[in-house]
């Protein structure tokens, strides 16, 4: 099981991204292994908003119809949201987002140890980083 983060999604879709080649290779390897790929709806929302704003609706269609069906979505309810907010506030770090904290909590809850990301916060949290 792997969690995919917004940074990896954007790098896969943006051929001009500095990490695109690495992201595309890793994405292909993950798909070839037929591993379960997770994200939560906060990551999905963040990725959707950034794709639409940065790249437009055509790329958003590519993401929504091409990638999203390959992903398992963990839905954040009120309890999970409150847990993530408590973790965010207790972390007391300005550059750590609620989306990141929610991803860490999702990984721990589901027993996921690997993250497909280019965000250094995942390694700082002790997760194995792919990408």
Tokens of 6: 């917004």
Contact by Cβ (8 Å): 52, 17: no
Q: What is the pTM of this model?
A: 0.94
Give the number of domains in the chain. 1
pLDDT at 94: 81
Residue 93 has phi, psi (to 5 degrees) of -125, 120
- Which segments of the chain have a pLDDT < 50? none
Give the Å distances, CA to CA, from 29 to 37, 51, 101, 127.
12, 23, 26, 19
Instruction: Give the residue among 79, 131, 125 at the shortest CA–CA distance from 103.
Output: 125
> Which residues form the domain of 85?
2-130
Contact by Cβ (8 Å): 131, 116: yes
CATH code for the domain of 16: 3.40.50.1010
């Amino acid at each position: 099981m792997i969690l995919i983060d917004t940074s990896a999604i954007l790098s896969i879709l943006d051929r001009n991204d500095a990490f695109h080649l690495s992201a595309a290779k890793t994405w292909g390897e993950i798909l070839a292994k037929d591993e379960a790929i997770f994200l939560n709806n906060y990551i999905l929302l963040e990725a959707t908003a950034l794709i639409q704003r940065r790249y437009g609706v055509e790329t958003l269609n590519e993401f929504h119809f091409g990638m999203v069906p390959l992903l398992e979505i963990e839905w954040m309810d009120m309890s999970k949201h409150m847990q993530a907010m408590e973790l965010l506030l207790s972390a007391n770090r300005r550059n750590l987002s609620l989306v990141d904290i929610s991803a860490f909590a999702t990984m721990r809850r589901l027993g996921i140890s690997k993250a497909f990301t280019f965000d250094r916060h995942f390694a700082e949290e002790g997760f194995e980083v792919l990408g």
